[in-house]
């Protein structure tokens, strides 16, 4: 180990980073272009890596199925939203695209909140376990942003967020309405993960929307780690005052 290094790169990092204490935040935001090994156990290590194509393979069939289910259920014309015990309004199949887009919009807010308040929390310097959790969730991505095997969520971890999103919607909305909003949000998540991967490894045409997003995300990684939390768009960075200043590339 080089005397200037704070960790031993020859060993798994998961159990080392918690000992960095007050040095962790500065260390994790100094990117390196080298592979990271998190765990010594090969099964645990493999579980932290996911090829990009598993995201659409796992989740798009669910999006397609529930989209068909919700639309055909609403098409029966028997769905009504009860506002009071004596008054209800019909929910037509033509409202499904609106409910779907509402879910997508809701996901964009969740995307922003998770990235800003969970992934970019500053763990207490004295708390070994919170530093370790932060590194496993997102710190390792900022330390090694070009690790292509850790740019999308493993389906197992993503299912915890997806399942919680679904249960919350079903507890607040009638079943068919909650499912319609859910499937839009799930589609938004798939697009988010695919765009995130593309922003790291794609080569968008200069002047295009994706080129602007890529430049924005590069600045988030290398210049403005405390801002620029939007991935699929910069929409929520505006009202929350976390927009990265516009610069020409």
pLDDT per position as a tens digit, 135-153: 999 999 999 999 989 999 9
Q: Is the pLDDT of residue 178 over 50?
A: yes
| Among the ranges given (34-38, 192-196, 229-233, 236-240), the one the predictor scored with the smallest mean pLDDT | 34-38
Give this prediction's pTM. 0.91
For residue 170, give Cα distances in angstroms to 27, 163, 180.
42, 11, 10
Per-residue pLDDT, 134 = 97
E-assigned strands of the chain? 80-84, 87-90
In terms of Cα–Cα distance, which of 195, 168, 158, 179 is closest to 102? 179
Residues 133, 123 contacting (CB under 8 angstroms):
yes
What is the pLDDT confidence band of residue 77, given thresholds at 50, 70 and 90? Answer: confident
Q: Is the pLDDT of residue 1 over 50?
A: no
Give dist(CA 228, CA 166) in Å, integer: 27
Q: Is the pLDDT of residue 184 over 70?
A: yes
In terms of Cα–Cα distance, which of 61, 18, 13, 38 is closest to 149? 38
Give dist(CA 197, CA 219) in Å, integer: 16
Tokens of 203: 């080569």
DSSP string covering 105-137, please? Answer: HHHHHHHHHIIIIIIT----TT-HHHHHHHIII
Give dist(CA 102, CA 98) in Å, integer: 6
Q: Is the pLDDT of residue 247 over 90?
A: no
* 218-239: pLDDT as tens digits: 999 999 999 999 999 999 999 9
In terms of Cα–Cα distance, which of 201, 224, 229 is closest to 145? 201
User: 168-206 burial, b for 16+ CB within 10 Å, e for fewer?
Assistant: ebeeebeebbbbbbbbbbbbbbbbbbbbbbbbbeeeeee
């Amino acid at each position: 180990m080089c005397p200037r290094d704070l960790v031993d790169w020859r060993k798994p990092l998961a159990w080392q980073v918690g000992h960095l204490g007050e040095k962790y935040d500065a260390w994790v935001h100094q990117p390196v272009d080298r592979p990271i090994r998190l765990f010594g156990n090969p099964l645990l290590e493999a579980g932290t890596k996911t090829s990009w194509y598993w995201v659409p393979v796992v989740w798009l069939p669910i999006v397609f199925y529930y989209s068909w289910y919700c639309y055909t259920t609403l098409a029966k014309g028997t769905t009504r939203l009860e506002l009071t015990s004596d008054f209800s309004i019909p929910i037509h199949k033509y409202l499904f695209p609106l409910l779907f887009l509402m879910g997508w919009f809701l996901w964009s807010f969740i995307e922003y909140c998770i990235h800003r308040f969970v992934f970019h929390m500053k763990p207490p310097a004295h708390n070994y376990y919170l530093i370790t959790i932060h590194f496993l969730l997102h710190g390792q991505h900022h330390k090694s942003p070009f690790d292509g095997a850790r740019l999308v969520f493993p389906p197992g971890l993503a299912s915890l967020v997806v399942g919680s999103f679904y249960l919350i919607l079903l507890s607040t909305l009638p079943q068919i309405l909650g499912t319609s909003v859910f499937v839009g949000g799930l589609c938004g998540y798939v697009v988010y993960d695919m765009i995130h991967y593309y922003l790291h490894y794609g080569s968008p045409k200069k002047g295009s929307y994706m080129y602007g997003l890529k430049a924005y995300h590069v600045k988030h990684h290398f210049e403005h780690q405390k801002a620029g939390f939007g991935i699929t768009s910069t929409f929520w960075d505006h009202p929350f005052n976390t927009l990265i200043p516009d610069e020409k590339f």
